[in-house]
Amino acid sequence: MSTSLTESGASAGRSHIADAGPHALCAREPRVPAERLVAEMVPPPRFDAVRFDTYDPDPGQPSQAEAVTVLSGFAAGLGGAHASGAGKRRWFAGARKKNAPTGPRGVYLDGGYGVGKTHLLASLWHATPADPSLKAFGTFVELTNLVGALGFQQTVQTLSGHRLLCIDEFELDDPGDTVLVSSLLGKLVEQGVALAATSNTLPGKLGEGRFAAVDFLREIQGLSAHFRPLRIDGQDYRHRGLPAAPSPYSDEQVAKTAYATPGASLDDFPGLLEHLARVHPSRYGALTEGIAAVCLTDVGPVPDQSTALRLVVLADRLYDREIPVLASGVPFDRLFSEEMLNGGYRKKYFRAISRLTALARDAKALVEQ
């Protein structure tokens, strides 16, 4: 299984100073086979080695230590006859009906950005006593894309034999997603699949401020009924006690670093934003495959909300894969307008700023080499 990744020799979005040497994200057109979408539903590289005992709870936030205790117990309770790997299921295998459980069949990690929710979700995946083929981990957008690739019924059959489904960055951005995910999770819970999710929004508040959530109250309440909310308080650990992120560099510094860094990419930011509109967000991980560092020139404020939401997904995939980001232009905390930062997607934008700032800090070492 592999990604089909084509790169054209020239791209309208490619920087004029990148005629040779670095890769160009704007020249990449990834195609991800459906079977890879399923096979890669595992924690991303940044969270491959995390465990509950590597989580560092803030002593001033008791909810963090409590979350570790609750999730450890939840994982321990997910053992079962087919969790050892016996009778391993094929990804196109038919569903085996189970008795529908009563009460919440999942946990929902609610909290601000940077409190370690993804770390805890990945730790739960690792701690659950089941073969990796019986556990799935993916972002919300990856889950909805899986439905698009396989179809609803085949997705239910593919996931119904799993012991656990972990959904990171659970956000409902439109009514269609609300109905789709409500129906999907309802079917999986009927089949005995346990659920775990992270979000910056309580399950009963999903969609609030983005669409007429009151019109879909039944679906939202149905989603909420599947989960036990687990609040995690705290400050953004990515910037706890660390120096401020480096200021943007000049175009020349960015280009020089891109050429000096094997595997780096070099793009101008406006062109990259245009390219993201032509690539489905579920392919942004594949878009960055093999990239050692992302170098961007002419970074400026994002022009509209649709573009901003695509950039959020890219920031998440870069962070998951621990890819440093070196940029010229405006600082990352000026990417989104005040209106965006005060709107329904504000928590997404603050998360993106936090993660991009952390990756910019990582990129500082590349310039100093």
Displacement of CA 287 from its chain's centroid (Å): 14
- Provide the pairing of β-strand 194-199 with 106-111: parallel
Q: What are the tokens at 167?
A: 């959904």
φ, ψ (nearest 5 deg) of residue 138: -165, 165
Instruction: Give the 3-state secondary structure percentages of the chain, helix then strand then coil, rounded to 5.
Output: 45, 15, 40
Contact between residue 295 and residue 257 where contact means Cβ atoms under 8 Å apart: yes
Q: Looking at the DSSP assignment, which residues form a beta bridge with residue 111?
A: 232
Q: What is the pLDDT of residue 242?
A: 54
Nearest one of 89, 331, 92, 353 to 236, comparing CA atoms: 353
Q: Tell me the three state secondary structure of residue 7.
A: strand
Contact between residue 245 and residue 331 where contact means Cβ atoms under 8 Å apart: yes
Q: Tell me the three state secondary structure of residue 99.
A: coil
Angle between helices 117-127 and 62-76 (to 10 degrees): 20
Q: What is the pLDDT of residue 216?
A: 37
Q: Tell me the three state secondary structure of residue 199.
A: strand
CA–CA gap between residue 40 and residue 361 (Å, rounded): 28
- Provide the pairing of β-strand 28-31 with 4-7: antiparallel
Rg value, the chain, Cα? 21
Q: Tell me the three state secondary structure of residue 55.
A: coil
Q: What are the tokens at 327?
A: 């940029």
**pLDDT tens, the chain, 369 aa long:** 455 566 654 443 444 443 458 999 999 999 888 778 888 899 999 999 999 999 999 899 999 999 999 999 999 999 754 433 333 333 333 334 444 444 567 888 888 777 889 999 999 999 999 999 999 999 888 888 888 888 999 999 999 999 999 999 887 665 667 778 888 988 999 899 999 988 765 444 544 444 344 443 455 556 677 788 888 988 766 665 555 667 899 999 999 999 999 999 999 999 999 999 999 888 899 999 999 999 999 999 999 999 999 999 999 999 999 999 999 999 999 999 999 998 878 888 988 999 999 999 999 999 976
CA–CA gap between residue 234 and residue 230 (Å, rounded): 13
Q: What is the DSSP string of 107-124?
A: EEEEE-TTSSHHHHHHHH
Contact between residue 164 and residue 188 where contact means Cβ atoms under 8 Å apart: no
Residue identified by tokens 């117990």 is 73
Residue identified by tokens 């990129």 is 363
Nearest one of 296, 361, 352 to 113, comparing CA atoms: 352
